[in-house]
Amino acid sequence: MPQATNVPFTITDIQQFPIGPFVAVDRRGNPTPAAGPFTVKADDVTLSVADNGDGTHTVKALGPLGLSQVIVTDGVGTGILDVTVVGSVEAGITIPTGSAVDQP
């Protein structure tokens, strides 16, 4: 199965970005008719993918940090986009607490 891999992409945990429209290519990178309709998926833990209805999709960070992939296939070829989700800028401070106990 032919596979095209893109360079890694990095977003913060509060960002999104568009992908598409997709193009099937031959081994030399020349456009070729797609073998079937394109399907797009992500892990649904780090990223979500929404179909925009116009041949493009929106990839959104869901919150957890880490490496994920967006996978596009037409039944014959597969494209994989590695996406790293990193933390965004500080928005506040958390204060961890212990259990309350009686004073001596």
| Structure tokens given for 101 | 């106990």
pLDDT digits (tens, 9 = 90+) for 20-74: 999 999 989 899 999 999 999 998 899 999 999 999 999 999 989 999 999 999 9
Query: Which pLDDT score is estimated for 8?
Result: 83
Q: CATH for 3-86, among 2.60.40.1080, 1.10.1040.10, 3.40.980.10, 3.40.50.720?
A: 2.60.40.1080
pLDDT in tens, 75-102: 999 999 999 999 999 989 999 999 999 9
Report which of 81, 80, 72 is spatially closest to residue 34, judged by C-alpha positions: 72
Phi–psi pair at 13, nearest 5 degrees: -70, 0
CB 83 within 8 A of CB 59: yes
Domain boundaries, the chain: 3-86
Please tell me the predicted confidence (pLDDT) of residue 7.
72
Task: Supply the DSSP symbol for 6.
Answer: P
